[in-house]
Structure 1
Amino acid sequence: MKYIQVPILIIVIACCSMMSGAIAHEHSSSLPTKHSLLPFFETVEQAELRSYTYDKAIDEASEAQDDCSSEPECDQLSLYETDLEYAKSAHIDKNGLDMFDILGGPAYSPEGGIMAAVGGLYSFKTDRNQAELQRSSVSLFGVGSKTDGGLGYGIRSKQNLFFDNNAIRYTGHFLLANQSENFWGVGQVAGEQREPSDDTLLDKMSLTYNANLDFQNTYGFYIGPAIRIKYFDPDQSTLPPSAIEDENFQAFKDKPLSIGLGFSLNYDSRDVTVNAWEGQYLNFEYINYNPAFGSDNQYEKVLLDHRYYLSLNPGRVFAFYNAFQWSTGDVPYYDMPTLGGQSSLRGIYQGRYRDNSTIEHTLEYRHTFLRGNGDLSAHGMTLWAGIGAIAGTDTDLYQALLYSYGIGYRYELQPRMNVRLDLGLSEDGNGFYLTFTEAF
């Protein structure tokens, strides 16, 4: 993608002689490729022009490879082209320029079945002059799926926005889905006693929206309001035996809307929120669901979430994830704490195990491969293993452990923002996940 607007390009072509020599007469051989030598430009126009110059140099290096006369010369040109591509990405990051990428391909998950996904990732800085300000990002995925229940669709989006040198931040998650899914019931026994089949499959329309707005105080902690909206409407004409026999499902099948308000209090020392290499995150969250807010149901939920990142050396990171969820009151089956999915014990069907409480622990090793010059490349892999448990109706925490493990591939599509391809395995099945940013 060219990071330059058409009016600016016209000016460059028509009036290049009027530009300063340092910018208008750049030659590809003078472009810096070492990240430490990349300058910060005072204006967006100057920074975009440098991006255009990198694009031109990359094209020239690519074309020159078609005419090279020897293998060493071709290898040198190929290496130079790669150096320019990495330098351009680092230049965009340092100068706070916008980036937009589109990604598409097949995927598979226990919940969605065979999927075709198309999505985009847009990242930017809300103030490019703040060097320590993290890049904000908005991702959007459209998914067409084929499950045992037929065709379905889903739309999901994540938003991570940062303002005022990271002192204000907004995180949001949106999911709309119209598809079939398996429902086992509530409790450990319910999740174990049936295999996925027509006896567990139901059709539904669902919507989820979660949002937090956090403000940093003088002590370094973040605190702010949170809103949770959950809508789950099953097709009453095609209910499977697992739903008909479940007391919680019958109690809440005609109460599809839950709206909660609350707050979060957290400490965050991670270097980059969406792909941390060091630091830790400790979060406490309380949400109250109440008819006064328009909710069909009245209950409370608590989340305690701790993440720790240990960097062995650049590109080698151990990531630890621990989370405890607790709920009380008239909690509907569709908003009970669950395990599984693309971010929690990957490989377990999300919702197969649900109850009033859950706990999980996951250890992940993240490895970024090096280039020939010793710099970090855009390619990496992960290995992880995790355990978890549910409790409430028929078991206590840690009484019956669940587990998952897997391997993943990472590609840095934008600075410190990865495309994630994960293969998760569990006793109950497996899942292949395609999405943006890390699981935690």
Structure 2
Amino acid sequence: MRRVSRIKAIMLVVLYVCTLQVQATEKDSIQQKKNLRFSILGGPGYTPDYGLVIGGSCLFTFSTNVADTTMKRSVLPVAFAYMTNGGGSMIVRPQLFFNEDRFRIFGQFSMNSTLDNYYGVGYETNSSTDRGEKTTQYRSVGFKMNPIFLFRYSDTNLFLGASIDAGKRSMEEPSEGVINDPHFIAQGGTTEGLSFTNVGIGANISYDTRDIPANAYSGMFVEVSATYYPKAIGSTMEYGVYKLDYRQFRELKMLGERRVLAWMLNGRFTSGDVPITEMSLVGSPFDLRGYYLGHYRDRNALMSVVEYRHMFNAGDETRFRRLLSKCGFVTWGGVGSVSDKFMDSKHLLPNYGAGLRIEVQPRMNFRLDVGRDPTNKQNLIYFNMTEAF
């Protein structure tokens, strides 16, 4: 019955999106003349981490200088949800471009109060701990503000910048399994829960030749960042986080227009006294889709994904052809690992899946992905705006 309910929820969402696109197709010429464009999808849905939800996704795009026709359009995706099991969440991931793309603001802003799961720390513990109300469940409450300010260096594709990461994470209503976890106890956890304040300052260096960052057909993106969370400015614990993010895109012209091969390599490494809520994870809507977020956690994580993206080119002679040209699909394969050591790939986490794409704005897609976790033999479903990476 649960699987049937999920399938019904997916069908409702897909049908709703397609209906909206039939209407939107007739208005494309008008929308092209407007600076602010927005797409809104809402209603019942399903997420692998929170079950049935009532919520929506909004996508706002605009130019910060309408007189500059070469300016990249700023992207502001917003996702919000109310969970039927109690609580809710909201997340914003802006990509804002200013002053002839000489200044950018990226980052993430989020807040949540949701039932979540903590499987402990390390591959061995994570793989042997059963998910359940008495073993892994707790209520996650918190917020995060992480703006990244980037400045173009001279007339190159190199960007230098700084970031601020401020937030609070609380593990409330811990289950028996969480209360008895040695890492939870060592960091001060009690039957009432555990709470961390995290305030960090970071440095960022990136190289970016992507044609459109939110949905690139060509180009490369490489970013290296380091963020330090000292007790002196308010952090509960003192630690550092170091990230490597490499992505590359190539349009496969021999297969037709809008056929793209994309690949990425992502690493997150930590030092110091890292809170268990801030350790490195795999399994999100933006990397190894198919693993529950936080199922595998440790001090360091490394993952790689290769994805093929295919949009249909049916022409615009009829209404049906215009609608079909706004649809497409993706398929991907990837692998990841978590470890307390740097660059340790002793235990690999394979991943693959496929997804549906519907263009809600020029070069901006709604996506429905079904990811496979072969390690735990499960399939998870994701709804989001814009591409995974």
TM-score in terms of structure 1 length: 0.75
- 1:230 maps to 167
Q: 2 CA distance for matches of 1:240 and 1:126?
A: 51
Report the Cα offset of residue 215 of structure 1.
Answer: 0.4
- Greater Cα offset, 122-131 or 105-114: 105-114
Secondary structure, aligned partner of 2:64: coil
Superposition pairs of residues 25-424 of structure 1, within 5 angstroms: 85-89=27-31, 91-92=32-33, 97-146=35-84, 150-198=85-133, 199-218=135-154, 219-235=156-172, 237-248=173-184, 250-253=186-189, 254-313=194-253, 314-372=257-315, 377-392=325-340, 397-424=344-371
Report the Cα offset of residue 85 of structure 1.
Answer: 4.2
Report the Cα offset of residue 244 of structure 1.
Answer: 2.1
Secondary structure, aligned partner of 1:370: coil
- 2:387 maps to 438
Q: 2 CA distance for matches of 1:214 and 1:243?
A: 41
> Unmatched 5+ residue regions in structure 2?
1-21
Secondary structure, aligned partner of 1:292: helix
Secondary structure, aligned partner of 2:282: coil
Answer yes or no: is the 8 Å Cα contact 2:171–2:195 preserved in 1: no
Report the Cα offset of residue 252 of structure 1.
Answer: 4.9
Q: 2 CA distance for matches of 1:87 and 1:366?
A: 26
Secondary structure, aligned partner of 2:187: helix
- 2:4 maps to none
Answer yes or no: is the 8 Å Cα contact 2:121–2:296 preserved in 1: yes
Q: 2 CA distance for matches of 1:386 and 1:192?
A: 19
CA pair 369-140 structure 1, distance change in 2 beyond 3 A: same
- Greater Cα offset, 283-292 or 252-261: 252-261
Deviations, residues 73-110 of structure 1 (Å, cap 9, x unaligned): xxxxxx9x998644445x33xxx611122211333333
Is the aligned partner of 1:426 residue 2:366? no
Aligned length: 352
Q: 2 CA distance for matches of 1:82 and 1:386?
A: 34
Deviations, residues 170-213 of structure 1 (Å, cap 9, x unaligned): 01212211111111011001110122112111122122222201
Report the Cα offset of residue 336 of structure 1.
Answer: 0.6
Query: Of Structure 1 and Structure 2, which has the larger fraction of its residues in strand?
Result: 2
Q: 1 CA distance for matches of 2:93 and 2:331?
A: 24
Amino acid aligned to 2:212: V
Report the Cα offset of residue 341 of structure 1.
Answer: 1.4
Q: 1 CA distance for matches of 2:26 and 2:175?
A: 57
CA pair 252-308 structure 1, distance change in 2 beyond 3 A: farther
Amino acid aligned to 1:156: I
User: What's the RMSD between the two structures over aligned residues?
Assistant: 2.2
Answer yes or no: is the 8 Å Cα contact 2:178–2:184 preserved in 1: no
Q: 2 CA distance for matches of 1:308 and 1:256?
A: 36
Q: 1 CA distance for matches of 2:24 and 2:81?
A: 33
> Unmatched 5+ residue regions in structure 1?
1-78
Report the Cα offset of residue 430 of structure 1.
Answer: 2.5
CA pair 273-354 structure 1, distance change in 2 beyond 3 A: same
Answer yes or no: is the 8 Å Cα contact 1:179–1:204 preserved in 2: yes
Answer yes or no: is the 8 Å Cα contact 2:75–2:214 preserved in 1: no
Secondary structure, aligned partner of 2:214: coil
Deviations, residues 220-279 of structure 1 (Å, cap 9, x unaligned): 3101111112321122x5433144223255415444111111111000000001100000
Whichever of the two has the greater Rg, that structure is 1
Amino acid aligned to 1:343: F
Deviations, residues 319-366 of structure 1 (Å, cap 9, x unaligned): 001011110100011001110011120110111111111110100110
Q: 1 CA distance for matches of 2:41 and 2:130?
A: 34
Query: Of Structure 1 and Structure 2, which has the larger fraction of its residues in helix?
Result: 1
Answer yes or no: is the 8 Å Cα contact 2:157–2:209 preserved in 1: no
Report the Cα offset of residue 387 of structure 1.
Answer: 0.3
Q: 1 CA distance for matches of 2:177 and 2:76?
A: 40
Q: 2 CA distance for matches of 1:160 and 1:252?
A: 37
Secondary structure, aligned partner of 1:334: helix
- 1:44 maps to none
Report the Cα offset of residue 301 of structure 1.
Answer: 0.8
